[in-house]
Structure 1
Amino acid sequence: MAPTSNPLAGAPAGRHRGDLGLFVALAFGLSWASWGAAMGLGGSAMTPPTALPYLFGAFGPLIAALVVRVRRRRRGEPVPEHAVRFRSRALAWLPLFLVATSATVLGAALLAQAAGGPALSLDGARDVMADAGGPAAFLVSMIVSGPLSEEPGWRGTAYPRMRASMGRLQVGLLLGVVWSVWHLPLFFIDGTVQNELGLATPSGMLFAVSVVPMAMLTAYAYERAGVVASMVTHFAANTTMILLDVHTPVTLALVVGLMAVVAAFLLTVSRSTSGPAPSAGPAPAPAPAYAEPGAPAPR
């Protein structure tokens, strides 16, 4: 009897590619359409009517992640094997990620100062918090814009699906490039940090590059303790850079370099905590290349 094709062969890979493609299309489509509207309206990103499409655009990855999750549940499909579920014991990791990430940015700023760069000052931090409406309003805005609006998408949705067919460093680098490209329209909206830096300047290009090691660092946090940990890491990096007014090419270059070294080291030497634990028993027998008619499909 001629072998028949297994209807389940390649299904997980195809499903992951379909979900990933849907997520990327929605994340880019929603964000870029909203930011395009903000560019068309003109004015500052923080003043009406531009503020509405500008702020909505930041939630493109979160909305795309929710769509993919609802779609998966309606189909009765399992969670991707590399997805990291939240566990209460993961809370112990959060202060570590918060301090370590902030220390990485602070260390780069101190190195830049020692090399003749701008001196660190708390005056700029006070001004930033005052402009935001006070420390509490500033912290809320830093949690919502970036960590909450992006991490459930980039790390919670895209990362585990890419890990199904790629290594950790490969995913970190590729997803970092995609994430960096996603930010590009912000360079053309008045009032954003990216617009103040300018795309065609050394600082602007270094900011775009800095997203790649940032993606690697948040990926490590995600693998250790789930999406909450990647949100904390994202929050720590963004908040520290804004409070320290990191914008000069020297400081940004040191942030990129130091963060890349730390992230690559962690991803290289640490064992992945996502996916099923390795079995201590003998390797299972290979699945048959085909199923006889009427036989149960392999699982």
Structure 2
Amino acid sequence: MTRRRLAEYGVICVALSWLPWLLMGVSGMRPDEGAGQLVFALAASGPSLAALVMWLWHRERRPGVRWSPGWPVAAVVLGAAAPLVTTALVGNLSELPGHAESVIAGAGGLIGAAVYTFLAGPVAEEFGWRGYVQPRLRQYFGPLATTAVLGAAWGLWHVPLYFLTGTGQQEDGLFTQEALVFFLELFPLTFLMLFVTERLRGGVPAAILMHAAWNLSTELIPPLGNAVWLELVVVTAVAGAAGWYWRRTLPA
């Protein structure tokens, strides 16, 4: 039953996201102009909307979460660590304030940047990936296998954005080092979100907070260029440290 529900979720998620993006691409509608902004936002919310559809359709009860007080700080630190550490390692910290000020101004100020950071990605996706899919995968797989399956699904969902004019992904290009690093980074990020949601008992709020911290920090730091590979190494090391802690603190 769980496998069938996951398959149903996948079909609904793809329909809610990929079909509108396909129509936008065919019609020439841009995600940063007019009605295209609304259509794009709804399509980008496909993962969370698909979870809502599944919960309402099957009248499923969401599993309860035993809250732990330490997850908010951990979610922010784990989300922001790799971009900030990489920036420090390549010596770009002095450029960070000016670049961050420019990005925040372009987003309409602090409030605009904060709202966009939480809605575009964290809220739009995490009720689906970490709220619906992850706990069901965990019924069959351990942490590493769950990371592999969910990380691959998360990356595949993003692929159409590389063909949609007006997105940051399309500007980067699919067959570039930036795209390759992006897809590879999703795996350690998936593990870290599993860590904060399950091991630290933060649930979906922890995933939203960590996703927002990652998005915000990657936007505010100066462009890394070839140093994106260093960022991949750093976030993988952070995930490895989290895995070591998880294993070390397992009950005997």
Match of 2:71 in 1: 93
Once residues 154 and 203 of structure 1 are traced to their aligned partners in structure 2, the CA distance between those partners, rounded to angstroms, is: 23
TM-score, with length taken from structure 1? 0.76
Q: Residue 44 of structure 2 contacts residue 124 of structure 2 at CA under 8 Å; is this kept in 1?
A: yes
Aligned pair in 2 of structure 1 residues 38, 270: CA closer, same or farther (>3 Å)? same
Shift in Å, 1:71: 3.0
Once residues 78 and 255 of structure 1 are traced to their aligned partners in structure 2, the CA distance between those partners, rounded to angstroms, is: 39
Once residues 237 and 193 of structure 1 are traced to their aligned partners in structure 2, the CA distance between those partners, rounded to angstroms, is: 16
Q: Residue 34 of structure 1 contacts residue 53 of structure 1 at CA under 8 Å; is this kept in 2?
A: yes
Shift in Å, 1:145: 0.9
1:230 aligns with 2:230: no
Match of 1:108 in 2: 86
TM-score, with length taken from structure 2? 0.89
The amino acid of 1:67's aligned partner reads V
Q: CA RMSD in A?
A: 2.5
Shift in Å, 1:190: 2.7
The amino acid of 2:242's aligned partner reads L
Unmatched tracts of structure 1, length 5 or more:
1-14, 281-299
Match of 1:258 in 2: 234
Once residues 70 and 168 of structure 2 are traced to their aligned partners in structure 1, the CA distance between those partners, rounded to angstroms, is: 32
Once residues 100 and 203 of structure 1 are traced to their aligned partners in structure 2, the CA distance between those partners, rounded to angstroms, is: 21
Larger Rg belongs to: 1
- Given candidates 99, 104, 109, the residue that maps to 1:129 is 104
1:187 aligns with 2:162: yes
- Given candidates 182, 194, 199, the residue that maps to 1:219 is 194
Once residues 44 and 130 of structure 1 are traced to their aligned partners in structure 2, the CA distance between those partners, rounded to angstroms, is: 22
1:38 aligns with 2:16: no
The amino acid of 1:160's aligned partner reads P
Once residues 217 and 105 of structure 1 are traced to their aligned partners in structure 2, the CA distance between those partners, rounded to angstroms, is: 15
Once residues 236 and 118 of structure 1 are traced to their aligned partners in structure 2, the CA distance between those partners, rounded to angstroms, is: 18
Instruction: Summarize the alignment of residues 146-225 of structure 1 with structure 2, pairs less than 5 Å apart.
Output: 146-223=121-198, 224=200, 225=202
Aligned pair in 2 of structure 1 residues 71, 253: CA closer, same or farther (>3 Å)? same
Once residues 104 and 239 of structure 2 are traced to their aligned partners in structure 1, the CA distance between those partners, rounded to angstroms, is: 29
1:29 aligns with 2:15: yes
Unmatched tracts of structure 2, length 5 or more:
none
Match of 1:249 in 2: 226
- If each structure's helix is expressed as a fraction of its own residues, which one has the higher value? 2
Once residues 115 and 187 of structure 2 are traced to their aligned partners in structure 1, the CA distance between those partners, rounded to angstroms, is: 25
Q: Classify the secondary structure of the residue corresponding to 1:242.
A: helix
Aligned length in residues: 250
Once residues 116 and 145 of structure 2 are traced to their aligned partners in structure 1, the CA distance between those partners, rounded to angstroms, is: 31
Once residues 269 and 95 of structure 1 are traced to their aligned partners in structure 2, the CA distance between those partners, rounded to angstroms, is: 16
Once residues 226 and 161 of structure 2 are traced to their aligned partners in structure 1, the CA distance between those partners, rounded to angstroms, is: 19
Q: Residue 97 of structure 1 contacts residue 221 of structure 1 at CA under 8 Å; is this kept in 2?
A: yes
Shift in Å, 1:233: 0.7
Once residues 136 and 194 of structure 2 are traced to their aligned partners in structure 1, the CA distance between those partners, rounded to angstroms, is: 13
